[in-house]
């Protein structure tokens, strides 16, 4: 039977790939990859393999999801190693499960290779735990992306829980709304927050501020997508020396002044 591997590329740093993901990339005949997959990961693909870009950005989809699904079916041939490569984990906001269902319904075997999702990888790289005794008894991951000109349809009251770390994917464009809604529904305006751009990569940047001040801080720092928003008391555990090492030069200087 034809076969497709749904592979998680992790948060960006190629050293954070699983052993299995790396092996499959090095053996691949065809790699169908997303926008968030970095060049360091793609460098592992053999020179003779076909690389097919199907990335999506807000308002600019290289291919629609239906076209991607059909492309994978056509690419899958017996004896051919086809890797569908997605940033992070393929089953966390990657539409990997939709692709798996589509392929299986058409007689294509699917094997999922999990990856380190951005919430875990980016926070750990900055020394911020998602849970910590006395600060966060759990964490939630939500998407901050909505259709054009539509408000976010999220359970704001449920998300405004001071005992839970909230991680928002794809939420930069809606950051002012996210902050305002959480504060309106009871989360303290002074809750520590963190925005991380291109986490775990050489281009990583971030800024730390209170929930009320985060939208302005992100604009001042010039952070851009792809970015992750982390909201919760655990952010306060990031040490000043860590902030200085990982921040852009201008931000690092300010961090050291405040430390």
Catalytic residue IDs? 34, 56, 170
Q: Taking a C-beta distance cutoff of 8 angstroms, is the pair 175, 214 a contact? A: yes
Instruction: Please state the φ and ψ torsions of residue 173, each to the nearest 5 degrees.
Output: -65, -25
Instruction: Name the token pair of 107.
Output: 């007689």
Task: Say how far apart CA 68 and CA 112 lie, in whole Å.
Answer: 17
Q: Residues with Cβ < 8 Å from 225, sequence gap 6 or more?
A: 57, 58, 170, 172, 173, 197
Instruction: Name the token pair of 92.
Output: 């966390």
Task: Say how far apart CA 163 and CA 203 lie, in whole Å.
Answer: 31
Overall size of the chain counted in residues: 259
Instruction: Name the token pair of 52.
Output: 């097919």
Nearest CA-CA partner of 85 in 5, 7, 15, 3: 7
Task: Say how far apart CA 67 and CA 83 lie, in whole Å.
Answer: 16
Instruction: Name the token pair of 113.
Output: 């290779």
């Amino acid at each position: 039977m034809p076969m497709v591997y749904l592979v998680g590329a992790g948060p960006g740093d190629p050293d954070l790939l699983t052993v299995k993901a790396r092996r499959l990339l090095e053996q691949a005949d065809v790699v169908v990859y997303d926008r968030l997959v970095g060049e360091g990961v793609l460098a592992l693909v053999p020179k003779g393999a076909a690389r097919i870009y199907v990335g999506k950005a807000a308002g600019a989809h290289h291919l629609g999801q239906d076209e991607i699904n059909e492309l994978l079916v056509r690419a899958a041939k017996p004896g051919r190693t086809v890797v569908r490569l997605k940033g992070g984990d393929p089953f966390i906001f990657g539409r990997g499960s939709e692709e798996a269902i589509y392929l299986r319904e058409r007689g294509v075997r699917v094997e999922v290779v999990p990856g380190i999702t951005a919430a875990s990888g980016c926070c750990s790289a900055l020394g911020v735990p998602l849970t910590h005794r006395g600060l966060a008894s759990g964490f939630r991951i939500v998407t901050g992306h909505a259709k054009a000109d539509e408000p976010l349809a999220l359970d704001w009251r449920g998300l405004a829980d001071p005992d839970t770390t909230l991680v928002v994917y794809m939420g930069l464009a809606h950051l002012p709304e996210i902050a305002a809604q959480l504060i309106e529904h009871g989360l303290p305006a002074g809750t520590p927050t963190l925005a991380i751009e291109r986490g775990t990569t050489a281009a990583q940047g971030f800024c730390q501020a209170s929930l009320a001040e985060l939208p302005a801080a992100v604009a001042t720092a010039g952070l851009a997508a792809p970015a992750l928003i982390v909201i919760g008391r655990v952010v306060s555990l990031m040490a000043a020396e860590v902030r200085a090492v990982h921040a852009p030069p201008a931000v690092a200087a300010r961090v050291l002044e405040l430390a």
